[in-house]
Structure 1
Amino acid sequence: MTEAKPAPQPIFRKDYRRPDYTIDRVDLRFELGEETTRVHATLTVRRLDGAPQAAPLVLDGENLRHVSVALGGRELSAGEYVVSPTSLTIPAPGAAFTLATVVEIRPQDNLELSGLYRSSGNFCTQCEAEGFRRITWFLDRPDVMARYSAVVEADKAKYPVLLANGNRVATGDLDGGRHFARWDDPFPKPSYLFALVAGDLRCFPGEFVTRSGRTVRLEIWVEPDNIDRCAHALRSLQASMRWDEDKFGREYDLDIYMIVAVNDFNLGAMENKGLNLFNAKYVLARPDTATDDDYDGIESVIAHEYFHNWTGNRVTCRDWFQLTLKEGLTVFRDRLFSADMGSPAVARIGDVLALRTNQFAEDSGPMAHPIRPESYIEMNNFYTTTVYEKGAEVIGMMRTLLGEAGFRRGMDLYFERHDGQAVTCDDFRAALADANGVDLEQFGRWYSQVGTPVVRARGEYDANTRSYTLTLEQAPPRGRTSAELLHIPVAVGLLGPGGPLPLKLSGETAAGADTRVLELRERSQSFRFEGVPAAPVASLLRGFSAPVELEVERSDADLARLMAADPDAFSRWDAGQELGRRVLLRLAADVEARRPLALDRAFVDACAKIVADPGLDGSLKALALTLPNERLLGQHQPVVAVDALHEAREFAVQALAAALREPLLAIYQSSAPQGPYRIERAEVDRRKLRNLALAYLVTLGEPELVALAVSQFHLADNMTDSEAALACLIDHGGPERDAALAEFHRRWHKDPLVLDKWFALQAASSHPDTLERVTALADHPDFNLLNPNRARSLVGVFGVRNQHQFHRKDGRGHALVADKVLAIDPHNSQLAARLVAAFNPWRRFDPTRQQSMRAQLERIAGQPGLSKAVREIVDRALAPA
């Protein structure tokens, strides 16, 4: 009988205390081997002022085979230190000293992909959040910042390329066919930013000349077969470096900046100082293998990791509770960059659509937490859309309140005060407030409040005084009875009969711009606009100025008017989405009541106007004509009506396609490609709209329309058009689907990233046999459950994006995902924890589905040896509501 492990205990933000010791310098030597790797670490340590003289030094470690430890050059005997599975303790080592340790690790067995591991035969590292302790004994916490050097030794034939952080200062050959490289990083950093790569790689080189005239060498390292897919990543990096100089005055500080593409990676990318490790999907692009969305994603993620050099590396977070300090801020910065590189409206709509679909759901589920969590059991579980995406929204609100120039002043002061330090969210907010002479104390509640706030709005027009009074109220998030009052910026416009109105608040002498930012700080506030000639329609939350749920009574006619005439592109799209949501929810109610289905004529007319509008580009039209997805629709029902929502949306898509058949066909036929693929904005817009038209048309099932998709699939010279056609055929089913899938697999089965698309398209399909196909694909020879990209492409897409099939009433979809979570967890708990989160909203469904999901959660919870990452999510999901 084995003794049960004690339940993992939470760590609380309120319990933070600085360490007794800090480490000023770290000198590492790695002897990389096929069976074992030996790591030599020499730490220069000092006791911090105020720490007890007799304080022990306790270093973190995990999965290390301890070899030796020496204090001040003297090797310690076994009785002079204590080694446990998770720590090395030196009793009262002194005020200042060097500590040298030697450990052995087995990177080839590290399927957790945390610490030092092997990917496609290459050595690489991932140390955020707590992976460095899997490499050597260390104070593995972000507030310990040290200068690092690393000597990497390996077999020269197998691993000709040896990389680490900083600047390369020496290389040479060693005995036995081995060689070495020494790297030195002059900037202090926390251990989570350490990086090492060794392998048979090829370099795609470039350079960047900084505004001060320094030439920085740029290197993108990939496997030999991928050297022709790096040009876009290099251009994106160069654009990011120039943009950060122009917008924020931030210049790169090392002589070299390196990116390495890795096939096995738990996340998107990692900002290690000077040596970024990337999931290969966010580096590699060629027109025949990457879609327009892939190109945009690469540009965004490259920028994100580069921007971390200042917002995350030069200034880092004091503890992991402050994660949004670097991630929310850097997401916001990469959003600004993406908006400048492309269409601001399209970028903003994409941001908000993702936020509402994913983060709003997280806010209402068992894993709800503020952007600065108060506790955690497994830190990796808090790399969430709340910390990242809502965190970015919070930064954006401060920029809205301060203005672009004021925000820049605050950022400059933040860097001036804290360069080289590990700081808190409060330090950031204080810099912005002090630089602008404003009080952001109330605004700081956004960092600690859980859930999505509700803003209620009502308007009243007085014809006698030609005035319009807008009353705004803030209410607690749904399901919560109370909340502190927040400081909420609400961007407002008014549409009169002739279009947008210049706005003049009561007490002002003259009207101003047609958009005003109102600051809601009380439970209820009223704002009176004067000089309003007729009853207007209010355009609220323009640009989505705050991450809130808006409650306002507006007629379908009001929404149609906003949809047709609002000058704010986001609000125009949003009005269409709200109108579409109403239409679809009414249809779902008709399905449940077994009433005949008919698509609202006014909605069809509104969509027809979008199709015909010459003032909208193709991307905006495609976004406006895309109906709300089933997950978003379910968030607006007290109990998610899985089958009714699916039937209603399928009906609406086909009815809209039938009603708009001729204009959609005209769009498709008139926008055929002229010449080879080009990644230019006008061409992206053309492809977006043309492929949306094709998706609608194929749902009609007419042979000549299905033939359009077949022809596009075979003739496409780019992955954007090929993937779009294949998605249409998969949803259509029949022999056309099977032939296209077989051809796509034959063509791309040796390309891992493209094959991920093949799995993902089938997992996301609306076709009735999707569950059976996903079940079969899980046993496909090309499916590897332990590769994060491949697991996410099938299991993750099915569990998160395919609401109808995952939540089949027979429970087989739930059982499939639970099986895979249990299979993955012993090897890669981070990946398993992300997949098991698909069960979090189980209480929002009907009793049959609730019972099915609860049974799977209880089965997972009962698994012996369950990781603490999965345990935390499952326990929170099962906890009493």
Structure 2
Amino acid sequence: MNSETPQRIHRLDYTPPPFLVDSVELDVHFNAGEVLVNSQLQLRRNPLAALAAEASPLPPLQLDGQGLETISVAIDGSVLGQDQYHCSDSLLTIVNPPDTLTLRTQVRIDADHNSSLSGLFRSKDGYFTQCEAQGFRRITWFPDRPDIMSRYQVTLHADKTRLPVLLANGNPVGSGDEGPDRHWAKWEDPFFKPCYLFALVAARLDVLRDEFTTSSGRSVQLAVFVEPGKLDQCAHAMDALKRSMRWDEEVFGLECDLDHYMIVAVGDFNMGAMENKGLNVFNTKYVLARADIATDADYQNIDRVVAHEYFHNWTGNRVTCRDWFQLSLKEGLTVYRDQEFGADMHSRAVTRIREVRALRAMQFPEDAGPMAHPVRPDSYIEINNFYTSTVYDKGAEVVRMIETLIGKQAFRRGMDLYFERHDGQAVTCDDFVAAMADASGVDLTQFKRWYDQAGTPRLWASGHYDEEARSYTLTLSQSLPTRAAADATSEPLHSPLHSPFHIPVAIGLNGADGEDMPLLIAGEDSTADSGRTTRVLSLTDFEQQFVFTELAAAPVVSLLRDFSAPVILDFSWSDEELAHLLAHDSDPFNRWEAGQRLASRLILAAAEDISVGRAAYWPQTFVEAAARLLENAAADPAFAAEALTLPGEATLAEEMAMVDPSALHEARNGLRRFVAEQLGGALLHAYETHATSGPYQATPAAAGRRALRNLCLGYLGELNSAESRALAMRQFETANNMTDQLAALATLAQDDCPERVQALDSFYERWHDEALVVDKWLSVQAASRLPDTLAVVRELLDHPAFDLRNPNKVYALLNTFGNNHVRFHAADGGGYLFLATQIGEIDRLNPQVAARLARRFDRWRKFDQPRQQQASFALEKLRSIDGLSSDVREIVGRALDQ
């Protein structure tokens, strides 16, 4: 067993870097079997660090490295002997360096066998980089931290035939031949940047070129590079890039600052994409799209990810994070920006619903589990483990709450002030909030607790209508689970963690006629904002009361409109009140939310009945509500599809004290079958009514019709009849787009029938040369509810379509299985042991991917005792592996020791 004690890094231990690096010149030679990297760094001692040191001896020069074979080290032109520096596996140390120096190093790296996909690595089409968070140290010796901002010049040398495309950050400044077989290219980035934003590419690629004229009249050359033969699949990504650039100019006044902006797609990539300055490296799944191979969700994801990485050019690149604890400074803010872009490009209501659905499925369980941490963590062992839903998605909710509290205009002023103050700097979350507070005049001191307190707050609400006074008193209170407040780090609690949050609670009052009622608070001028239908209340204490006046009748309160805060809301609506909100609430999010609460109540009650041997009860009122949604679906099919989608099993499980996944699965599917049985005719009518004709269009309207139609097909599939299978098979065979074909395949994959086998075989035969489509084929099988799903997944490990070294394949098959609630949590523990074994195998190749898979065990203590014993056994077996990476060891250790 590995006995090494991992080192925990603490936020409060931050000190300025001892040395700054003003310029970096890299000369990179791609040779057969090796890459030689010559580095020249212009360094100077940091006056801030020297001042902090006071009378202490000045610190040595230390540079980070990993997997580097050091050939030479020189200072100011003089080669150092081996007794003049110390070189370990991870540090190059030079004692008593001059205060200013030119450091030259030459290293050899084995990029061909770098299966971690961090640093410089080889994929099938050439060489690519991924330097965030700490990958640059795999390329050359360097002080690898985000608060060192430098100017970069890069020259690449390679074989002209094997690697014809040579790219790096910034703008091209020269290129040429080196004899008959080799060539070179030089790139220069005019902007200072941290090393995590460095990128280079040397590969055989096809390119789609375009240009964009900025609002000031500048021309920016655009390029999307893809693997050979895929040019017909990257037009949508180019279009998304141009729409993102225009949107950022119009909404935030931010213009592209480079002459060249490039996107490169690679099939082997740990993340979705990377915002390297002017040279974004993308996972192919977020670039390649064509109607027959990409779904509506793929098209929308490409929109969002392309936008996200482009928006980073300002929120992440021009202003970056001082240290990795401030990761949400760039990620939370940029997720908020790409969410707003997505809302403007598509349906704002549906976009918000999907964001919250994902937040509840991923971030809420994370906040309640062993890896719980604040938006700005206090400590970490492996920073790669903190690229989490909390940092990204909850971080975006924190930014959204600031906008809710101060208003859109003040938020824009705050953004302008943020860039005015910090352009070209590495800063903190506090700096961002300070800009918002100063621009708006709103005190956000208490609000900053959202950055520092872990856990999902619980918002308790109760209301009372006084008929005589014609008033409604709303009482709001908040609490934070003790377990989450400890930050899950085994560190002592501090008093600020027990302090109340500043929670914006957007509310409306709905009358019996379905219309919004006045929102006048006692003591206010009755003419002020009399037409307002939504009001934001600031809950800043543990408990507060708000009294609304001039109400002729008792209202139905609509709480937390547009999900104004990431909290768990507890309010005792009756079923009739929820049905009323579902039918009449002017806030589309809360109409959806009312339906989700109704469905959750039914499913959770049925799961409890099933677990003790009682029959589930399904009221006709729910069917009537679903029927109304179908009848009115023509107005907004996309919203109807979301409203008719039941809460997921993982989300429902979070509401249970002890989870019986089999009973929960049976209950949820039971409600789906009941709706299908009662509304079969209406579902079929809606299915036929919302058929799209003609060529595929990736428009919101067309996507909404497909979403509703395919949801109806899924419900009809619950009937498990010859007619429903024939309907799905007909759609599978005649579909002219991947959205419809995959929906039919997924429906058939849930039943043990000949059509399922036929469709799966046909799908693979047709698409086996399209890697991203094959990923869908793997996912459909891993997500199946059939009892033999684990056996099928085991068999697929040996299928030619699967590759343990490729993150996309691993996520498609193994991560999907880990998210298959009923099969992963099988009572015999087979799912646990299987996934733990695979995590151990992957860890030897790619610790980042293995660590992400290990997160599937986060909530193992939510289940019954026999399952807990099985999960604990699998985790202990995984922890006992000799040489287990610190990435996986941290996650497994916290899961077991919570």
Q: Which whole-Å deviations, capped at 9, do the CAs of 1:530-588 have from their partners, x for residues lacking one?
A: 11111111100000000000011111111111111111000000010011000001111
Match of 1:770, as an amino acid? T
Q: Distance in 2 between matches of 1:447 and 1:387?
A: 9
Residues 616, 848 of structure 1: CA spacing in aligned structure 2 closer, same or farther, 3 A cutoff? farther
Match of 2:857 in 1: 839
Q: Which structure 2 residues correspond to residues 364-375 of structure 1 after superposition, within 5 A?
A: 364-375=368-379
Residue number among 522, 530, 534 corresponding to 1:506 in the alignment: 522
Contact 2:10 2:380 in 1 (8 A): yes
Q: How many residues align?
A: 877
Structure 2 residues not aligned, in runs of 5+: 486-496
Q: Which structure 2 residues correspond to residues 735-746 of structure 1 after superposition, within 5 A?
A: 735-746=754-765
Tell me, what secondary structure is at the counterpart of 1:546?
Answer: coil
Q: Percent identity?
A: 53
Tell me, what secondary structure is at the counterpart of 1:732?
Answer: coil
Q: Which whole-Å deviations, capped at 9, do the CAs of 1:717-757 have from their partners, x for residues lacking one?
A: 10000000000010122110000000000001111100000
Q: Cα RMSD between the aligned structures?
A: 1.1
1:479 Cα offset (Å): 4.1
1:214 Cα offset (Å): 0.3
Residues 45, 611 of structure 1: CA spacing in aligned structure 2 closer, same or farther, 3 A cutoff? same
Q: Distance in 2 between matches of 1:642 and 1:44?
A: 59
Tell me, what secondary structure is at the counterpart of 1:500?
Answer: coil
Q: Distance in 2 between matches of 1:429 and 1:669?
A: 51
1:174 Cα offset (Å): 0.4
Match of 1:309 in 2: 313
Q: Which whole-Å deviations, capped at 9, do the CAs of 1:40-68 have from their partners, x for residues lacking one?
A: 00000000115267421000000000000
1:175 Cα offset (Å): 2.5
Residue number among 810, 830, 834 corresponding to 2:828 in the alignment: 810
Match of 1:854 in 2: 872
1:596 Cα offset (Å): 2.3
Match of 2:494 in 1: none
Match of 1:663, as an amino acid? A
Q: Which whole-Å deviations, capped at 9, do the CAs of 1:841-871 have from their partners, x for residues lacking one?
A: 1111101100011001100110000000000
Contact 2:125 2:227 in 1 (8 A): no
Q: Which whole-Å deviations, capped at 9, do the CAs of 1:738-782 have from their partners, x for residues lacking one?
A: 000000000011111000000001111122221221121122122
Tell me, what secondary structure is at the counterpart of 1:598?
Answer: coil
Q: Is the aligned partner of 1:102 residue 2:106?
A: yes
Q: Distance in 2 between matches of 1:105 and 1:370?
A: 37
Q: Is the aligned partner of 1:400 residue 2:404?
A: yes
Contact 1:496 1:533 in 2 (8 A): no
Match of 1:549 in 2: 568
1:593 Cα offset (Å): 2.3
Residue number among 2, 8, 27 corresponding to 1:10 in the alignment: 8
Residues 4, 299 of structure 1: CA spacing in aligned structure 2 closer, same or farther, 3 A cutoff? closer
Residue number among 485, 493, 498 corresponding to 2:500 in the alignment: 485
Match of 1:870 in 2: 888
1:130 Cα offset (Å): 0.2
Q: Which structure 2 residues correspond to residues 577-726 of structure 1 after superposition, within 5 A?
A: 577-614=596-633, 616-726=635-745
1:698 Cα offset (Å): 1.4
Contact 2:367 2:484 in 1 (8 A): no
Contact 2:779 2:812 in 1 (8 A): yes
Q: Distance in 1 between matches of 2:717 and 2:360?
A: 28
Q: Distance in 2 between matches of 1:65 and 1:609?
A: 68
Q: Distance in 2 between matches of 1:4 and 1:795?
A: 25
Contact 2:155 2:186 in 1 (8 A): yes
Q: Is the aligned partner of 1:515 residue 2:534?
A: yes
Q: Distance in 2 between matches of 1:751 and 1:122?
A: 19
Q: Which whole-Å deviations, capped at 9, do the CAs of 1:102-126 have from their partners, x for residues lacking one?
A: 0000101100000000011310000
Match of 1:773, as an amino acid? V
Q: Distance in 2 between matches of 1:80 and 1:520?
A: 61
1:480 Cα offset (Å): 5.5
1:478 Cα offset (Å): 6.3
What TM-score do you get using the length of structure 2 for normalisation? 0.97
Q: Is the aligned partner of 1:227 residue 2:231?
A: yes
Q: Is the aligned partner of 1:435 residue 2:469?
A: no
Q: Is the aligned partner of 1:179 residue 2:183?
A: yes
Q: Is the aligned partner of 1:353 residue 2:371?
A: no
Contact 1:694 1:709 in 2 (8 A): yes
Q: Distance in 2 between matches of 1:143 and 1:199?
A: 30
Contact 2:850 2:888 in 1 (8 A): yes
1:503 Cα offset (Å): 1.2
Contact 1:504 1:512 in 2 (8 A): no
Residue number among 18, 21, 25 corresponding to 1:20 in the alignment: 18
Q: Distance in 1 between matches of 2:818 and 2:633?
A: 39
Match of 1:760 in 2: 779
Match of 1:40 in 2: 38
Tell me, what secondary structure is at the counterpart of 2:399?
Answer: helix
Contact 2:522 2:548 in 1 (8 A): yes
Match of 1:117 in 2: 121
Q: Distance in 1 between matches of 2:555 and 2:767?
A: 55
Stretch deviating more after TM superposition (394-403 or 509-518): 509-518
Contact 1:113 1:265 in 2 (8 A): yes
1:605 Cα offset (Å): 1.1
Q: Distance in 2 between matches of 1:699 and 1:562?
A: 28
Tell me, what secondary structure is at the counterpart of 1:717?
Answer: coil
Match of 2:222, as an amino acid? L
Which is bigger in relative contact order (C-alpha 8 A, separation at least 6)?
A: 2
Match of 2:659, as an amino acid? V
Tell me, what secondary structure is at the counterpart of 2:667?
Answer: helix
Tell me, what secondary structure is at the counterpart of 2:474?
Answer: strand
Match of 2:590 in 1: 571
Q: Which whole-Å deviations, capped at 9, do the CAs of 1:442-492 have from their partners, x for residues lacking one?
A: 001100001000110000100001111111101113645872111100000
Match of 2:78 in 1: 74
Q: Distance in 2 between matches of 1:729 and 1:797?
A: 17
Contact 1:452 1:478 in 2 (8 A): no
Q: Distance in 1 between matches of 2:442 and 2:579?
A: 39
Contact 2:370 2:895 in 1 (8 A): yes
1:176 Cα offset (Å): 5.3
Contact 2:607 2:616 in 1 (8 A): no
Match of 2:491 in 1: none
Q: Distance in 1 between matches of 2:125 and 2:113?
A: 12
1:5 Cα offset (Å): 5.2
Match of 1:198, as an amino acid? A
1:816 Cα offset (Å): 1.2
Stretch deviating more after TM superposition (496-505 or 687-696): 496-505
Q: Distance in 2 between matches of 1:725 and 1:4?
A: 47
Tell me, what secondary structure is at the counterpart of 1:672?
Answer: coil
Contact 2:507 2:560 in 1 (8 A): yes
Residue number among 79, 84, 90 corresponding to 2:88 in the alignment: 84
Q: Distance in 2 between matches of 1:238 and 1:500?
A: 40
Residue number among 14, 28, 31 corresponding to 1:30 in the alignment: 28
Q: Which structure 2 residues correspond to residues 72-471 of structure 1 after superposition, within 5 A?
A: 72-175=76-179, 177-471=181-475
Match of 1:72, as an amino acid? D
Q: Distance in 2 between matches of 1:464 and 1:530?
A: 11
Match of 1:536 in 2: 555
1:362 Cα offset (Å): 0.2
Residues 615, 563 of structure 1: CA spacing in aligned structure 2 closer, same or farther, 3 A cutoff? farther
What TM-score do you get using the length of structure 1 for normalisation? 0.98
Contact 1:364 1:478 in 2 (8 A): no
1:616 Cα offset (Å): 4.2
Match of 2:98, as an amino acid? G
Residues 614, 735 of structure 1: CA spacing in aligned structure 2 closer, same or farther, 3 A cutoff? closer
Residues 834, 690 of structure 1: CA spacing in aligned structure 2 closer, same or farther, 3 A cutoff? same
1:614 Cα offset (Å): 5.0
Runs of 4+ in 1 over 6 A off after TM superposition: none
Q: Distance in 1 between matches of 2:635 and 2:837?
A: 46
Match of 2:47, as an amino acid? D
Stretch deviating more after TM superposition (374-383 or 780-789): 780-789
Q: Distance in 2 between matches of 1:822 and 1:317?
A: 33
Match of 2:872, as an amino acid? R
Q: Distance in 2 between matches of 1:669 and 1:478?
A: 51
